[in-house]
Structure 1
Amino acid sequence: MAVKKSELYSLLWEACNKLRGGVEPSRYKDYVLVLLFFKYVSDRYKGQRFAEFTVSEGASFDDLIAAKGKSDVGERVDKIIQKFLEENRLQGSLPDVSFNNPDELGSGKELVDKVSGLIAIFQNPAIDFKNNRASGDDIIGDAYEYFMMKFAQESGKSKGQFYTPSEVSRIIARLIGIGDIKQEMGKKWTLHDPAAGSGSLLIRAADEAPTDENGDSIVTIFGQEKYPDTAGLAKMNFILHNKGTGEIKSGNTLANPAYTDDFGGLKKFDFIVMNPPFSDKDWIDGIKPSEDKYKRFDGYGIPPEKSGDYAWFLHVLKALESNGKAGIILPHGVLFRGNAEATIRKAVLDKRYIKGIVGLPANLFYGTGIPASIIIIDKENADKREGIFMIDASHGFMKDGNKNRLREQDIEKIVQTFVNKEEIEGYSHFITYKEILKENDGNLNVPRYIQKSDDTLPQNITSHLKGGIPEADIDSIERLWKVSPQLKQKIFKCNDGKDSIYTLAISPNEIETVISEDEKIKSEKENECGELFSAWRNEIKDMMLNINADINPKELIRNIGLQILHRFESAQLLDNYDVYDFLLNYWNESMQDDVYIIKASGYEAGGEVEYVYAQKKQKDESGETVSVDDTTKMKSFEGALISREVIENEYFEKELLALKDLIEKSALLESELDEMREEESGEDGLLVNALNEKGDSIPKANLNKQIKELESRKTSSVMSDITKLIELLDVGDTDEMEKTVKANSELKGYELRNKNGSFGKSKLKAALKDAIHNAVMPEVYADEYKALLAFQAKMTEKEEVDKAVKETQKAFEELVLEKYGELSVDEIKYLLFDKKWMAKLEDDITDAIDQVLNDLASRVVLIAKRYEHTLSELEEKVVQSKVRVKSALERMGYSW
């Protein structure tokens, strides 16, 4: 079974996080990521001839496992990894870490435990990449990105800049147009990042490029990163994303560019992506701008000494081919700051290189909380460009801990709006160069050109004074009236046509019902839940039912996502980007795992079951005590692709109902027992003597003990005589026994003798039990005894029901397990598509429409109540309240 992305991410992160101890996230990440990289390469290439990497004996992850627990484990790990690096000529290419470093990992047993624990994490059978060798399988690469994101979150402002949030990387990759290039004879497309960090921007951009007949990207990637350790992260990132041929060089890009041409100038690239340090105060180190040999500042001017944003910007312009394209992340200040930066900005605008600007939300990046923008540069046909397309995406995000994060719908809305040059009020606008340069003196501040739509309602003073609802307030719910214009007349009536003042035509309590029962509202809801969804469902069905090893999951979700986006364009209740978000969230949460499993194992994986076992302790190969699965004790199970719930509802509805009835009966009996206990648990309660020490339950042992105690207080002549008979039998005095029987006629009603006529010990004991039962309880204990017996009977009934639940549950589970093994591929496809994927999305859409209608109804009620009382009425109420308070105070004896 292929590794599930979601499981891999959480498994690795939680385990590693526990072992981190006092090591700083910025350093600990290097240890973890090196091990993750080494595990992947070892699994994937060990034993393969002519492979991309050599993994020999003594230089594999298996050798790390053998070193685990040894007193010199740190030294051994260093030697093993060093041998691998030497054999693959990777010395100096990866982060420089030593697993024998007492300053960071502790010393003695602490170091042994920490290093051995890290190895054990990646030794987990769930993390086996031997079966994940298919080209394009990006599970491990995305896991690596996930790790870098998590470490960036914890590294703080000063050390989180090595990672660009993947959501922003994905936007830039799509906006620069790299996906539109074609393979040309003799042409080698190039992609560059001068401030590469961990390489995520380069990788996302390269992922967008078309591939050749071998499935390889047709662009060659080149990166430069100032810090060697971070450059090492990027190199590993390239390899784990099947881009191992990508170059990454270490060094200061502005002072010493690593990529130059044969004439000493900067090498030119077709595409550049970059997220440089914001307002870099050290950009001038190692460089004399006025004598820059690469002539990057010629014709533009020199950036401020303490703010290097335009230094990086101008480096990109110089390194870009004459028809090249770039996407740069820079702080908003570069769009409007004055002095030297204004001079540079106007010079750039004169050349018309800037194609678009996207204003992003604040607090997206891990190194800073300030808002940033994406600037899209396109040199091709720049002289014919008439303006800049701007997007203000600053308000579309979700909170994620102490940071903001772009949602899937935010990403797609930015991309689709930019690609289609769609002008949306308050969101996007095309601004001519004339307007920018002549009317605004080169100021590119996004809010200057795009004013956010204000959906707040101003208070209407006249309505507050005289009453009534102003028409402007009612018109603010245009979304509702657009679906059903007649609703406005149903809910409101016009009292003053001259001033357009309205009042409610119905009670506020009726508003929600009137809206939900409106025929056009119901029709539109049916359209969106039914027709639009069904049309999209039918469009994608063949794609989702023909997944194979050659499919690209990321292309698949891109395609079906665009289809749902376009299909719901006509929806009036739901925003089509909200619907898109439902799909993408479900994809990230679960659906992508399903697709990757099918890609690796086929639809037949739908018949597989994953078991959860009890744990047991045993020694591992190094002699350490570890917890492992006890496969003889299954605790539960779940379908690998199709949940038990789907199987149960589809095939065993009758049996499931019977089981639920038993469970409900048990729950009812439990509540009845609780009620009986609570009613009689007080100081004088009839069950108080059977309570546990805490007084919150009645254990069975306590209950039986108290019943036995009360029964011991029963008395009767029969009980006394049978007890006497038992004593006489023990001493063998049968004559006295016969006399006792003759003297008490009531004893004739009890079976005291064996078949041969002799007295039997077991017969006498059974008779005594019956006699005790038949005996009369003293009146002082009668009510308590009755209550105890009633509780005992109810408890016995629940035990019997619980036993039936357990037996029925076991039989039911056997039926479900058997059914998994019988599923055909056609059945699996049906269950996956109709009962799992589509059922979940349809529920999300239905719930969302209901929420929209509830919100609209609430807004109508809010507007109706806004002017419910006039100012004079409120003043009169205040006067009346004062009179009542004064009167009450006077009655209490206060005067003034």
Structure 2
Amino acid sequence: MALKKSDLYSSLWAGADELRGGMDASQYKDYVLTLLFVKYVSDKAKADPYADVEVPEGGSFDDLVVLKGKPDLGEQVNVAIRRLADANDLQGVINNADFDDPDKLGKGKELVDRLTKLIGIFQDLDFTGSRAEGDDLLGDAYEYLMRHFASESGKSKGQFYTPAEVSRVMAALVGIKPDTPKSATVYDPTCGSGSLLLKVADAAPNGLTIYGQEKDNATRALAVMNMHLHGNGTAEIRQGDTITSPQFLRGNELQTFDYLVANPPFSVKSWNNGLENEYGRFDGYGRPPEKNGDYAFLLHMIKSLKSTGKGAVILPHGVLFRGNAEATIRKELIKRGYIKGIIGLPANLFYGTGIPACIIVLDKESAVGRTGIFMIDASRGFAKDGNKNRLRPRDMHQIIDAFVYQKEIERYSRMVPLAEITDPKNDYNLNIPRYIDGSEPEDIQDLHAHLKGGIPNRDLDALQPYWNAFPSLRTALFQPLRDGYSELAIDNDEIQTAITGSGEYAAFVSNTNGSVNRWWNEHEGALQGITPATRPSELIAELGDSLLDEFRTQPLLDEYGVYEQLISYWNDVMHDDVALIMSEGWDGAAKPRAARILGYDKNKKPKYESAHITFGTGVKAQRWVMDLVPPELIVARYFAKEQADLDALEATVEAAGQAIEEYVEEHAVEEGLLLDATDDDGKVTNKTVTDRLKAAKAEGADSDEIKALAHVIGLFRAETAAKKAVKEARIKLDQLTLTRYSQLTTADIQSLVIHDKWGGRVVAGVQAERAALIQKLVQRLNVLGARYEQTVGDLDAEVEALTAKVAAHLAAMGVGV
């Protein structure tokens, strides 16, 4: 059975984190990621004798497994990994972590037990089918672990990883073309673990030739392993300080590249310590400030680009507006036309800092004659993700679309003419708020409306997209009151019904449903054609882009919201399904399988993964998992009547329980007929009632009590019988469902998955976006209606009436006012 992405990720992280103990995440990652690398290359070598990495005798993961539990385990793991490193010129890359370090892993038996368990986490994983190109499960798992380690490493140690969402945006911004050759070069002078470089290379259909430099040797090792795991083992990743010791030189000049991406450390104060050769980086610009290295890195990148080169760099917003030496450099960069665009990002995206940053897009090729800089304020588009913010798929695509197609969007993006930037009032200041007002429009309180009533027409005009989608709705909801003001023609609580009950809304629903169904049907053939050669990243890119195109012309609905629904579902479920089909085929992926044992409790009893269908209990139970086709899809299509019968029986159980509850509530009270049938906690159970009835008969108790007790016993029996019927019906339905799996044809499976599972969820996502839009309109109209429902005169009259009422009461009590 192929590994599911989500299962792999969660098991790796949970196991690794459990064994970390008191070690800092920034250190522990070296152990976990090294073992992940060894396991991966060992499995690949088994499946492919021509694999990129040679696995020598005594240097495979299987050799580590043999060592489990041995007293000298740590020392022997070091030996095995050193053999693998020596055979592949990976010294200083995969053998940096000391597996025999008692200070980090514990002493004696503690170290042996910890390493034995850590090796065991990877032992049961099988990566022989993991692909080195395209949408690579193992490479993504490596990134997943790095992201978690970065998140837990703290501000000072989390800078080795650029969030994948930001990396993908930058890859799209540098302007790689479909015909860009593999020989084209991409360079990251502060490459960290290499994720940013890999995202850019992935954006090129033919790949790119990769170069990177990283100051920290341990982080450079992460990058080298990352390159191998993603099928880019020939990438050149060198170690050294980029400013004081650049590693890519031609003679005494900096080597230049076609593309460049970077996320350098922000505002480094010691950037020029040991700087002896400036390599002409500051010529014509001036020297960056002694205590801030942002422009030192930026000028290094400018110098490292070919005359036709393009790049994208993440820097703090301060580079856009700070004065003195930086203002001089910024002015020169603008004059030379090297800055093509600036994108302001949300705060708290990055692991090394919480401050907001921006992406500066560089373009030397079109620098001459540049007349403006395209700016985007994307600071408000994000989702909370734990203690960090994260770009959503919709945010990423909107940034890319706006920039690539130079779309001017109110409060979001515009082409800012150089004449405006160089105007004395701006003086080459590039601070985005100077040119784009991204603030939310103020919700103005209208004093005239408060005094005289009515809803200001300007507030209704602000909802024009809704009136465009539903042309007659405004006149149906509102009527003129006086010049510039309207009033609701219906009550507030009737607004939603008036909207959703209109013919125009029905047509809107029909059109959007038709659009999504038409789009989905157009891709049915591509989905049916999933094979081991499918590239999931290309499949979802085609689905996403075509869905955007389908909804761009739809009124009211935000195409990026619809896109978000698809991509979120892809990330949560559909990607795993596609990977499963690629590995097992449609028929194999749909077969029920036995639930896996995830571990053992303290009593050595097995702990199983959640099963869809279970027969029996305990260790002898049959537990079935259906990864691709959940049982509810089978039931909905083939056993609707049986499910309806089961639902009816469950309703009977609920009714029986309700009858017991109501009768007990009525009679298990003080001096009630069931008072003596309660336990120490005041509860009435079948046992307490049965025991009391027996005693009551022996005592010759009141006949009414005996009748009440007998009635309750009858109710409990009815509930028990109903529960038994439900259990039998559920077992029967489960048996029918399990049997049906063996009868499914390939066409049946494809229909269930493509239409019922995937298609149903995508349609539901569009419906959710539509419902949210209507709810937003209803809420806004309710706010406006309530805000101006009472005028100041109405309130004055109410105050006068209440004052008079109070005075009357006081007078009645003989109290003068």
| TM, length-normalised to structure 2 | 0.94
Partner of 1:514, secondary structure, is helix
What's 1:748 paired with? none
Superposition map of 1:195-234 within 5 A: 195-211=190-206, 217=207, 219-234=208-223
Partner of 1:178, secondary structure, is coil
Aligned-partner Cα distance in 2 for 1:455–1:635: 60
Distance 1:892 1:280, change over 3 A: farther
Quote how far apart the aligned CAs of 1:295 are: 0.8
Q: Quick one: which amino acid aligns to residue 274 of structure 2?
A: G
What's 2:626 paired with? 639
What's 1:176 paired with? 174
Superposed CA deviations along residues 221-270 of structure 1, whole A, max 9, x for unmatched, are: 11111111111111111111121221211111110011111x22111111
Q: Quick one: which amino acid aligns to residue 791 of structure 1?
A: V
Superposition map of 1:799-818 within 5 A: 799-818=720-739
Q: Quick one: which amino acid aligns to residue 515 of structure 1?
A: I
Aligned-partner Cα distance in 1 for 2:382–2:815: 58
Aligned-partner Cα distance in 1 for 2:545–2:486: 43
Structure 1 position 485 matched with structure 2 position 471: yes
Superposed CA deviations along residues 718-758 of structure 1, whole A, max 9, x for unmatched, are: xxxxxxxxxxxxxxxxxxxxxxxxxxxxxxxxxxxxxxxxx
- Structure 1: which 5+ residue stretches go unaligned? 212-216, 714-777
Q: Quick one: which amino acid aligns to residue 835 of structure 1?
A: D
The equivalent position to 1:567 in structure 2, one of 541, 545, 550, is: 550
The equivalent position to 1:287 in structure 2, one of 265, 269, 275, is: 275
Quote how far apart the aligned CAs of 1:118 are: 1.6
Distance 1:614 1:302, change over 3 A: closer
What's 1:676 paired with? 663
The equivalent position to 1:706 in structure 2, one of 675, 692, 701, is: 692
Structure 1 position 54 matched with structure 2 position 68: no
What's 1:254 paired with? 243
Aligned sequence identity (%): 44
Structure 1 position 421 matched with structure 2 position 400: no
What's 2:612 paired with? none
Which shows bigger deviation, 626-635 or 547-556? 626-635
Partner of 2:595, secondary structure, is strand
The equivalent position to 2:260 in structure 1, one of 252, 257, 272, is: 272
Quote how far apart the aligned CAs of 1:685 are: 4.1
CA contact (8 A) 1:614 1:631 kept: no
What's 1:449 paired with? 435
| TM, length-normalised to structure 1 | 0.86
Quote how far apart the aligned CAs of 1:890 are: 8.6
Distance 1:9 1:279, change over 3 A: same
Superposition map of 1:589-738 within 5 A: 589-612=572-595, 627=606, 633-634=620-621, 636-696=623-683, 698=685, 700-713=686-699
Partner of 2:523, secondary structure, is helix
What's 2:364 paired with? 379
Q: Quick one: which amino acid aligns to residue 357 of structure 1?
A: I
Superposed CA deviations along residues 602-645 of structure 1, whole A, max 9, x for unmatched, are: 212343113337899699xxxx9573669963364332211111
Partner of 2:624, secondary structure, is strand
Aligned-partner Cα distance in 1 for 2:201–2:599: 47
Partner of 1:384, secondary structure, is coil
Quote how far apart the aligned CAs of 1:51 are: 2.6
CA contact (8 A) 1:178 1:208 kept: yes
Structure 1 position 20 matched with structure 2 position 8: no
Distance 1:618 1:298, change over 3 A: closer
What's 1:245 paired with? 234
Superposed CA deviations along residues 663-687 of structure 1, whole A, max 9, x for unmatched, are: 2222222232333333343344444
What's 1:727 paired with? none
Superposition map of 1:279-678 within 5 A: 279-288=267-276, 292-439=277-424, 440-452=426-438, 454-497=440-483, 500-528=484-512, 530-612=513-595, 627=606, 633-634=620-621, 636-678=623-665
What's 1:843 paired with? 764
Quote how far apart the aligned CAs of 1:879 are: 4.8
Aligned-partner Cα distance in 2 for 1:350–1:406: 32
Aligned-partner Cα distance in 1 for 2:596–2:815: 75
Quote how far apart the aligned CAs of 1:62 are: 2.3
Distance 1:631 1:605, change over 3 A: farther
CA contact (8 A) 2:134 2:536 kept: no
CA contact (8 A) 2:43 2:127 kept: yes
Quote how far apart the aligned CAs of 1:50 are: 3.5
Distance 1:883 1:283, change over 3 A: farther
Aligned-partner Cα distance in 2 for 1:828–1:805: 29
Quote how far apart the aligned CAs of 1:892 are: 8.7
Aligned-partner Cα distance in 1 for 2:238–2:364: 26
Quote how far apart the aligned CAs of 1:47 are: 7.1
Aligned-partner Cα distance in 1 for 2:647–2:739: 20
Which shows bigger deviation, 96-105 or 815-824? 96-105
Aligned-partner Cα distance in 2 for 1:690–1:109: 59
Q: Quick one: which amino acid aligns to residue 458 of structure 1?
A: I
Aligned-partner Cα distance in 2 for 1:48–1:429: 52
Distance 1:79 1:863, change over 3 A: same
CA contact (8 A) 1:360 1:372 kept: yes
Aligned-partner Cα distance in 2 for 1:51–1:832: 35
Superposed CA deviations along residues 331-359 of structure 1, whole A, max 9, x for unmatched, are: 11111111100100111111101111111
Quote how far apart the aligned CAs of 1:150 are: 1.2
Distance 1:784 1:44, change over 3 A: farther
- Higher radius of gyration, 1 or 2: 1
Aligned-partner Cα distance in 2 for 1:617–1:482: 61
Quote how far apart the aligned CAs of 1:883 are: 5.8
Quote how far apart the aligned CAs of 1:692 are: 4.0
Aligned-partner Cα distance in 2 for 1:436–1:443: 7
Q: Quick one: which amino acid aligns to residue 661 of structure 1?
A: A
Quote how far apart the aligned CAs of 1:35 are: 1.7
CA contact (8 A) 1:524 1:573 kept: no
Which shows bigger deviation, 886-895 or 226-235? 886-895
Superposed CA deviations along residues 287-327 of structure 1, whole A, max 9, x for unmatched, are: 14xxx341100001111111111100000011111111111
Which shows bigger deviation, 869-878 or 155-164? 869-878
Distance 1:10 1:442, change over 3 A: same
CA contact (8 A) 1:47 1:55 kept: no
- Structure 2: which 5+ residue stretches go unaligned? 609-616
What's 1:67 paired with? 67
Distance 1:689 1:19, change over 3 A: farther
Distance 1:840 1:71, change over 3 A: same
Structure 1 position 874 matched with structure 2 position 795: yes
Partner of 1:873, secondary structure, is helix
Aligned-partner Cα distance in 2 for 1:512–1:136: 47
Aligned-partner Cα distance in 2 for 1:697–1:85: 71
Aligned-partner Cα distance in 2 for 1:339–1:895: 76
Distance 1:626 1:782, change over 3 A: closer
Quote how far apart the aligned CAs of 1:693 are: 3.7
CA contact (8 A) 2:215 2:240 kept: yes
The equivalent position to 1:136 in structure 2, one of 121, 134, 150, is: 134
Partner of 1:195, secondary structure, is coil
Aligned-partner Cα distance in 1 for 2:683–2:146: 49
Aligned-partner Cα distance in 1 for 2:128–2:503: 58
Partner of 2:381, secondary structure, is coil
Partner of 2:242, secondary structure, is coil
Superposition map of 1:179-194 within 5 A: 179-183=177-181, 188-194=183-189
The equivalent position to 1:853 in structure 2, one of 770, 774, 791, is: 774
Quote how far apart the aligned CAs of 1:534 are: 2.1
CA contact (8 A) 2:70 2:112 kept: yes
CA contact (8 A) 1:46 1:55 kept: no
